[in-house]
Amino acid sequence: MELGEDERDIDREWIGLELNPFDDQALEQAVLLKESVAARVTAIAAEAEGGERMLKTALARGVDEVRLIELDEEAVQLSSRARAPLYAEAIAEIAPDLVLTGVLSTDDLYGELAPLLGAILDWPQVSAASQVTQKGASVTVRQEYSGGAAAMVEMQLPAVVGLQTASRPPRYVPGSKLRDLLKVEIPTSEPSVEPGADLADATTLELPDSSGGAEMIDGNAEVVAEKIHGILSERGLV
């Protein structure tokens, strides 16, 4: 990972993009709800490099509809705080019972998207959730706390969930299914609200100072194994 010239953002030119793990879990959970309670699932994304491909992946995984929110070219790397009003507007139009987001992602650096949406829409929200089940006009989730503690929380719908783990690991989608969707047109919508004010202009990024970090062991696997064995023996750990 490298910094861009102005140190405001990372250099994205050569970064390979894939759906980040928590959004992957959220997408899987949505499809599981479609299968278990016949939920109708819409996947939305804001325009960014790879955004269309992600939505095609979502279609391949089984969502019913997708929508790409158009952004100005210079606005494609907005923070969650900036994007939240745009998503909230699209969500209000779609009027779902449940909004699922990944609890954290590379474009949601502080894991704030789900609570921001909950606050803007004035819907109940929990983050770090798993085990989502729907019954009538409510949804029950397991909220995870530190040290392995948890609670079962019931929310009246509509609600927002920042998902940590889907009820089942995300399914595999064969490349052929994705190729079939290559020519599909992704519907877009133009936001009518302004992005939220954020701290992007007040933030600079830097690589952590790696001095004082690990003493690095060089060599091939056999050499590294020998040295690690030596360190463990010296300390009486083996």
Least distance (Å) between residue 107 CB and other proteins: 10
Which is closer to other proteins, CB of 124 or CB of 181?
124
Question: Least Å distance between CB 48 and other proteins?
Answer: 16
Q: Provide the 3-class DSSP secondary structure of residue 72.
A: coil
Task: Kindly report the number of other CB atoms within 10 A of residue 86's CB atom.
Answer: 25
Write down the least CB distance from residue 157 to other proteins, Å: 9
CA–CA gap between residue 83 and residue 75 (Å, rounded)? 9
CB 203, min distance to other proteins, A: 4
**Nearest distance in Å: CB 2, other proteins:** 10
b/e sequence 36-65, b meaning 16+ C-beta within 10 Å: eeebebbbbbbbbeebbbbbbbbbbbbbee
Q: Which is nearer to other proteins, 188 or 204 (CB)?
A: 204
- The secondary element (H helix, E strand) that includes residue 42 is strand 42-46
Residue (183 or 211) nearer to other proteins, CB: 211
Going by C-alpha positions, the residue among 58, 40, 110, 50 that lies closest to residue 82 is 110
CA 169-97-49 angle, to 5 degrees, is 60
Nearer to other proteins, 57 or 80 (CB): 80
Q: Reduced to 3 states, what is the DSSP secondary structure of residue 142?
A: strand
**Residue (65 or 198) nearer to other proteins, CB:** 198
